[in-house]
Chains A and B, each alone.
Chain A
Amino acid sequence: MGLDFSIVPKYMDVILLGCAWTIGITVAAALLSFFGGIVFAVIALYGPWLLRQPFRLFAWLFMGTPLLLQLFLIYFGLVQIGIDLPAFVAGIIGLGLHFAVYNSELIQTAILAVDKGQMEAARTLGLSRGEALRKVVIPQAVRAVLPPIGNNMIALLKDSALVSVIGVSELTLSAQRVIGKTYRPFEFYLLAAACYYVINLGMEWVQRRIERRISISR
């Protein structure tokens, strides 16, 4: 069939809209995974037994199985229990939870690393355990693991392609739709790949800037 890129400009708007969705989903899921990661880390380390044990099971399941399988569970599972969410919300929840578990692992290690002396210092100042955690320990821990969390978020961008499988019209599904009309898979998947690559470069740039700023304030 050969290649023909002349057809690309005609569908550029669809692809660009797909890019916007991909960026939006990535940012939303990244935020969810960031704050979710902190919450999970606190539950895993300080939560009551009744909360800690089910959480550990959940984390273990989510780290040991493929994201795509988890997306199916969340998308169809929510429908099953009567919560009918738009696909993109299910996608954000799925991506967000998956990466929250990974972020939580990082944050837990970091909390344990800063905990002792800092916690004692904060407690002697009269802060409660919760306050000391919130104001002293967690900010330091999160700062320490921002670079690997940043890597997780860049991985999240690429894994966001998976939500196309549950019908979220992000970049990958947009490309697929255009291909359905044009029968030009090579051209449009390549274009989609190029878009991901550029977004990826952008995220790496932001990551470097944030890291530089943080290395100053540490």
Chain B
Amino acid sequence: MDFELMLKVYPFFLEAAWLTILLSVLTAILGLTCGALGAAARLSRFRTLRFIGAAYVSVIRGTPALIQLFILYFGGPQIGIQLDAFEAGVIGLGVNAGAYMTETIRGAIITIDKGQGEAARTLGLSQWQAMYKVILPQSARLMIRPLGVNINALIKATALVAAISVVELTYTAQRYIGSTYKPFEMFLLAGILYMIIIYVAGRGIAWLDRKAQIT
């Protein structure tokens, strides 16, 4: 194990880790947004919207994220979408994560007892009021943990943007493996940083979950 080399290159890894964190945060925000919209579409009373929601989930989850990223980044210009690699990465990964989150959010909503909605409607609440006053506060507690699983997967998925040359952690590791021929050391450096990011995110989610369960 070449510790000297690891000490020498770790600042570059640290810098790359910030980009991985930024990517993760932006992707999570976009993913949650897509997930909420997707779930709303899947639970809509309009057939067309339900179909669009179902198609979104099926197509995105049925094809590799890497290909989705390539279509957006390399194919985008052909249909007038010009994005730099970072933007394509955030949008591609965010839309991808959104499909998984759609199912998580939808699942948490439909497990709430039917009687809850009925009781709210019986009091005269509108569909929307019943949703945000009665159903969502209850399902929010249920979805924090599974959304945490989605976010954990999403952090690891940010590595894919290495394939479109975004200089995040995996790309940096790959580059240093190529120049130093020390694959294990470079893997360890990047791996430890990934695990720190995932650990911190996990603690944050656990904290949120605890807060939500108290009342």
Contacts and interface: CB of A to CB of B under 8 A. Distances in A.
Interface stretch (A30-38, A61-69, A116-124, A140-148): A61-69
A192 B68 CA distance: 10
Contact of B184 (A73, A160, A186): A73
B170 interface: yes
How many chain A residues sit at the interface, stated as a range, is: 35 or more
Interface string A162-203: 101100000010011001000011110110110011001100
A201 B70 CA distance: 22
Nearest to A77: B183
Interface string B121-164: 00000000000000000000000000000000000111110110
B214 interface: no
Interface string A112-150: 000000000000000000000000000000000000000
Contacts of B190: 65, 69
Interface stretch (B37-45, B59-67, B108-116, B203-211): B59-67
Contact of B71 (A61, A65, A185, A200): A185
A3 interface: yes
Interface stretch (B3-11, B26-34, B72-80, B83-91): B72-80
B19 interface: no
A52 interface: no
B195 interface: yes
B67 A72 contact: no
A179 B78 CA distance: 13
A67 B68 CA distance: 17
B40 to A, nearest CB: 24
Contact of A200 (B63, B156, B162, B182): B63
B194 A72 contact: no
Given A1-B78, A161-B64, A196-B62, A73 B70 contact: no
A82 interface: no
Interface residues of B, number: 38
A80 B71 contact: no
A134 to B, nearest CB: 32
Given A73-B184, A193-B67, A64 B59 contact: no
Contact of A64 (B163, B183, B198): B198
A151 to B, nearest CB: 11
A144 to B, nearest CB: 21
Contacts of A201: 62
A9 interface: no
B198 A76 contact: no
A65 B174 contact: no
A9 B64 CA distance: 23
A84 interface: no
B72 to A, nearest CB: 9
A54 to B, nearest CB: 14
Contact of A193 (B71, B156, B163, B170): B71
28 contacts: A2-B78, A61-B191, A65-B194, A66-B156, A66-B158, A66-B160, A67-B159, A68-B159, A68-B163, A69-B159, A69-B170, A76-B181, A80-B184, A158-B65, A159-B64, A164-B66, A165-B162, A172-B66, A172-B70, A175-B67, A176-B70, A185-B70, A189-B67, A193-B63, A196-B67, A197-B59, A197-B62, A200-B62
Interface of B: 59, 62-68, 70-71, 74-79, 156-160, 162-163, 169-170, 173-174, 177, 181-184, 187, 190-191, 194-195, 198
